[in-house]
Amino acid sequence: MGEYSGRFLPESLARAAIVEVGRRTYLRGFVAANDGNISVRIGDDLVLATPTGRSKGFIRADELVKMTLSGRKIEGTLAPSSEIKMHLKIYEARPDVMAVVHAHPPICTGFAVAGIPLDKCVLAEVVMTLGAVPLAEFAVPSTQELAEAVAERIRGCDAVLLANHGAVTVGPNPFAAHYSMERIEHLANISLVARLLGGEKLLTKRQVEEIAEVQRASGSSLPPLACKTCADSTCPPEELVGPRERRDGQPAPDFDVALAPMVSEQLLAQVVRVLKEELAEL
């Protein structure tokens, strides 16, 4: 995969890549049962997609469905994923995208269910690779309305949370899209723990600018959709900026506070234990 430099993957390689990404997605616990879907562009008007009703952990290469970008099936005995409208709309909105992965990673989906985008500048690695992860407003799964909502958000980024649903990531190949899914789940895990401990300390504008300079020096650049730091008129360039208030409307505590008052020691211990178990599987 890394040695192939063409725009479209050869069909045999694309089929193998979808199968492997499906297996990884399932083993990471990003999907349950038959959830999730993956697609890859293999030509100017050709797409390979996972079929409906099949676990992504056990899918076979010969079960994949070949379609046109207009949605016409041209090969395959099974029906395509019910979310294929979303995939096709993304390809229409982003001609540079060659692969789409949709899954339900538990922690970032929790943020999506809570209506919270992952758009704060908290991790340098995420600032450099993904930028902000916005939230697409809720639309019924498998509908054209959902496809339109996601396409509108995905124009300026490579990962989007779907309100009360899950997440979708895109990339130049299925592995890149999968890695972006891993990144947003990792970011969501860290953000959750930070919020339980009182809130994230955000990177300042100056720090983000320094990250951008490092990117430029390496011949790269930050993602087009920048993450949030704080309001332009109130952001002190030399200070770390934390959350403006807690859920109860009171000012956020100082960051040397060990635990937010509304969170019990038992709940924090439980969350940390779950995260350790998840990381141990990597």
**Domains of the chain, with CATH numbers?**
11-192 (3.40.225.10), 205-280 (no CATH)
User: How many of the other CB atoms lie within 10 Å of CB of 137?
Assistant: 14
Report the alpha-carbon distance of residue 167 to residue 36 in Å, rounded.
Answer: 10
Q: Show which residues are catalytic.
A: 83
Taking residues 254-258, report their average pLDDT: 35
What predicted TM-score, i.e. pTM, was given to this entire model? 0.81
**Location of structure tokens 């504008």:** 205
Q: Which has more confidence, 98 or 253?
A: 98
The answer to whether residues 269 and 259 touch, using CB atoms and an 8 Å cutoff, is no
pLDDT of 268 over the 90 cut: no
Q: What are phi and psi of 102, to 5 degrees?
A: -120, 130
Buried b or exposed e, range 51-68, using 16+ CB within 10 angstroms: bbebbbbebeeebbbbbe
Q: What are phi and psi of 263, to 5 degrees?
A: -115, 130
Confidence of residue 125 (pLDDT cuts 50, 70, 90): very high
Average pLDDT, the chain: 86
pLDDT of residue 4: 64
pLDDT of residue 264: 60
Percent of the chain topping pLDDT 90:
75
Instruction: Flag the least confident range among 45-59, 91-105, 120-134, 261-275.
Output: 261-275
Confidence of residue 60 (pLDDT cuts 50, 70, 90): very high
Q: What are phi and psi of 106, to 5 degrees?
A: -60, -45
pLDDT of residue 242: 34
The answer to whether residues 135 and 116 touch, using CB atoms and an 8 Å cutoff, is yes
158-204 pLDDT, tens digit per residue, is: 999 999 999 999 999 999 999 999 999 999 999 999 999 999 999 99
Report the alpha-carbon distance of residue 144 to residue 26 in Å, rounded.
Answer: 26
pLDDT of 2 over the 60 cut: no
Q: Which has more confidence, 265 or 226?
A: 226
Length of the chain: 282
Percent of the chain topping pLDDT 70:
80
Among 9, 193, 40, residue whose Cα is nearest residue 111: 193
For the residues of the chain, what is the DSSP string, one character each? -TT--SSS--HHHHHHHHHHHHHHHHHTTS--TT--EEEEEEETTEEEEPBTT--TTS--GGG-EEE-TTS-EEE-SSPBPTTHHHHHHHHHH-TT--EEEEE--HHHHHHHHTT--B-B---HHHHHHT--B-EEPP--TTSHHHHHHHHHHHTT-SEEEETTTEEEEEESSHHHHHHHHHHHHHHHHHHHHHHHTT---BPPHHHHHHHHHHHHHTT----SSPPB---TTT--TTS-B--SB-TTSSBPPPTT-SS-TTS-HHHHHHHHHHHHHHHHT-
Taking residues 239-256, report their average pLDDT: 36
pLDDT of 244 over the 90 cut: no
∠ CA(176), CA(163), CA(96), 5° rounding?
A: 30
